[in-house]
Amino acid sequence: MRALLFTVLFLVSCGSVDVLSGLELPNAENVTFQDYEKKLKNGLSDWKNRHKQSHLKSFLRNFGVCAKSSEEYNSQILDRYKVYEMLSRGYYILGYYHEKNLEKSKKYWQIGASYAEKALLSNNDFKKAVAKYGEYVPALSKIKNYQVPSLYWYLANIGMWAKNSGVSTTLKYLKLIKSMIKRIERTDPNYYYSGLDRYRGAYFAVIPSYAGGSINKSRDFFLSSIQKSPSHLGTKVLYAKIYALKTRNKPLFRKLLVEVINTTNVRDPNIKPENLLEQREAKKLLKNINELF
């Protein structure tokens, strides 16, 4: 398995336009440090409203320029490493919540993964280990604890890309996926509102039984994530979309979505935009319940 899954293949640009996202980027070579800091500030302002596609794309434009600017630029406003990490999460959000065209979403997840790689490879120990072994799995021990968020968003992006590229693609990356889960779990098992349990809830429902899939394990991991981090509404929506639909449990499907829609406390600033988007998704799913069942 090649280590650099997306960086070489997908993180490319043509002139001033990112050919995959279609986001127009000014020529990064002409960006001064003052411009760099201005774009950081503007991007962080837009990030607060990422539930609105126009704001999210504005964030991606601003931070995209920062990522392509001189590597000597490193502002006290935000560490350069965090620029890559937030871009990875931003492209995940764009593909998962905002884009309706699956092929475009897959491209956004590819870009998101490539930015996460850029963040991970900023660690020279990890970079040397990747060069030595030629793949990520044996090099994951070199990941620093502060890099766990980037590893998580790498996992999230390639997970969505693989899931929507067919079962054979998902199976191809199972070893890498399992290894990343173990590395994240070692440092922060409940990172991003019990994100690993949420991920495994979907994972065990999607992969075939001969590869270790288990609908019962799927249920248990979803319930664990909900219990540990009830403020993340996306877990209930995913539980409904994946588990309840697969088991044809219409009452559970309805119950979960109604609970999400009726939740009034979505104020956690770290995930308020995502929660608002999850409520929107829950309303759409509930409206189409008779078509889905």
Please report, in tens digits, the pLDDT of each residue of the chain (293 residues total): 444 454 433 433 333 334 445 555 556 667 899 999 999 999 999 999 999 999 999 999 999 999 999 888 989 999 999 999 999 999 999 999 999 999 999 999 999 999 999 999 999 999 999 999 888 999 999 999 999 999 999 999 999 999 999 888 888 889 999 999 999 999 999 999 999 999 999 999 999 999 899 999 999 999 999 999 999 999 999 999 999 999 999 999 999 999 999 998 877 889 999 999 999 999 999 999 999 99
Q: 175: part of which helix (H) or strand (E)?
A: helix 174-187
Residue whose tokens read 């980037």: 150
Using an 8 Å Cβ cutoff, are 257 and 219 in contact? no
Query: Residue 89 domain-assigned?
Result: yes
Task: Check residue 8 and give its pLDDT.
Answer: 38
How large is the angle between the packed helices 148-163 and 80-93, nearest 10 degrees? 30
Task: Check residue 23 and give its pLDDT.
Answer: 59
Query: Residue 233 domain-assigned?
Result: no
Residue type, 200: R
Residue type, 292: L
Domains contained in the chain, number: 1
Query: Residue 253 domain-assigned?
Result: no
In residues, how long is the chain?
293
Residue whose tokens read 């449990």: 249
> Domain range holding 127?
1-188
Sign of CA dihedral 22, 28, 32, 33: positive
Residue 17 has φ and ψ, to the nearest 5°, of -125, 130
> What is the 8-class DSSP label of residue 135?
S
CA distance 189 to 193: 10
Query: Residue 180 domain-assigned?
Result: yes
C-alpha pair distances (Å), 242 with each of 89, 90, 285: 22, 23, 12
List CB contacts of 240: < 8 A, sequence separation 6 or more: 252, 253, 256, 257, 282, 285
Query: Residue 122 domain-assigned?
Result: yes
List CB contacts of 238: < 8 A, sequence separation 6 or more: 198, 201, 202, 222
Query: Residue 50 domain-assigned?
Result: yes
Task: Check residue 91 and give its pLDDT.
Answer: 97
Residue type, 190: N
CA distance 234 to 284: 14
Query: Residue 199 domain-assigned?
Result: no
Q: Which of 191, 152, 192, 205 is nearest to 274 (CA)?
A: 192
Residue 24 has φ and ψ, to the nearest 5°, of -75, 125
Query: Residue 37 domain-assigned?
Result: yes
